[in-house]
Amino acid sequence: MPDKRYLLQFKAATGFKVVLEFGGEEELNQNIERVKEADLTWERLQGFNLNFDQADLFMDMRSPECIEQFDLEDWL
C-alpha cells in the first residue's frame, strides 16, 4: 500500500496549473491557507501521476532543492 500523499493543486495567478506535494498534513494545510487567502481556485488531490495527469508545474516540496527553488508568493 502506497504512503499517503499530501497534494495541492491550484490555478496560479499566472494561469498555470501548479501541483505541490508535501511531506505532511501541516505543511499542506499552511499552503492551502495561503492559496485561499489569494482567492485562487484549488483542490486537494488524492493521487497524481506525472506521466498521465496534467500540470504546468509539479514540485515535490519534500525535497530541499525544490523548497529552495520554489516561492509560493511568485505564483499567488
The answer to whether the Cα torsion of 50, 57, 64, 67 is positive or negative is: negative
User: If pLDDT is split at 50, 70 and 90, which confidence band does 2 have?
Assistant: low
Q: pLDDT value at position 1?
A: 40
The stretches of 1-76 forming alpha helices (DSSP H) are 25-37, 64-69
| pTM for the full predicted model | 0.91
The pLDDT tens digits for 16-41 are 999 999 999 999 999 999 999 999 99
- Nearest CA to 8 out of 70, 39, 25 is that of 25
- 73 pLDDT higher than 50: yes
The pLDDT tens digits for 44-62 are 999 999 888 999 999 999 9
- Nearest CA to 74 out of 14, 31, 29 is that of 14
Amino acid at 41: T
Question: Which residues, listed in sequence order, are joined to residue 18 by a DSSP beta bridge?
Answer: 10, 57
